[in-house]
Amino acid sequence: MILIGITGGIAAFKMASLVSELVQEGRSVVVAMTEAATRFVGPLTFQSLTGREVVTCPWTASEGRESPHIHLARCADAMLIAPCSMDMTAQLATGRCDNAVSLLAASIDRSRTPVLLAPSMNETMLDQPSTRRNLAQLAEDGFRILEPNPGWQACRTSGRGRLPEPEELRESLLEALASSTRAAIERGDEEA
């Protein structure tokens, strides 16, 4: 199963394309959204694309018998958080998990299951010392950071900070899944 975490940012609309493509390939996808993300794209969009409930509250998801975030974290083959907002990078870097996306990411054993972050924000926000520091900490903590693209942004300026296109995100996700599978085989994991 692939977990897709979506945070608040205009680039959230790109995730519908990615989720649709993954589902059409026959992949099991569960989407989790922060409250801010639901202001940009409604959960019904992703529920329609995946055929599954969208996790917006970590305490009410219906997957499995154990705590929803633990069940989903154990079942995940990979997680992608895109767009990953400045706020989400700060939450993950400091261990705060007060929403469905950050709680799921915190519940995953990153030594076995890759968690990819695709930062997306205005270039000035991306270049803030706190953001650079948080991204460095997250890389050290085992998250895989995808570099944002340069180009036109919703703030009507051009610069670094754009969310990679859905195809680029898909390729990064599939590469992470392949390397995770190889590592599991080398460890001798039964589920590989």
Per residue in 25-50, pLDDT tens? 999 999 999 999 999 999 999 999 99
Determine which helix (DSSP H) or strand (DSSP E) holds 18, and give its type and residue range.
helix 14-24
Output the CA angle 154-31-62, nearest 5 degrees.
Answer: 145
Name the more confident of 185 and 94. Answer: 94
pLDDT exceeds 60 at position 61: no
Helices first, then strands: H and E counts in the chain: 8, 7
In percent, how much of the chain has pLDDT > 90?
Answer: 76
What's residue 77's pLDDT? 95
pLDDT score of 191: 56
| Torsion sign (Cα): 12, 121, 25, 144 | negative
Catalytic residues: 155
Beta-carbon neighbour count of residue 87 at 10 Å?
18
Task: Determine the pLDDT at residue 151.
Answer: 79
Closest CA to 120 of 82, 155, 87: 82
Q: Which phi and psi angles does 33 have, rounded to 5°?
A: -135, 145
C-beta of residue 3 within 8 angstroms of C-beta of residue 76:
yes
Confidence at residue 63, expressed as pLDDT on a 0 to 100 scale: 57
SS3 159: strand
Q: What is the pLDDT of residue 160?
A: 87
Comparing 31 with 67, the larger pLDDT belongs to 31
- Band of pLDDT at residue 190, cut at 50, 70 and 90: low
Q: Which domains does the chain have, with CATH numbers?
A: 2-187 (3.40.50.1950)
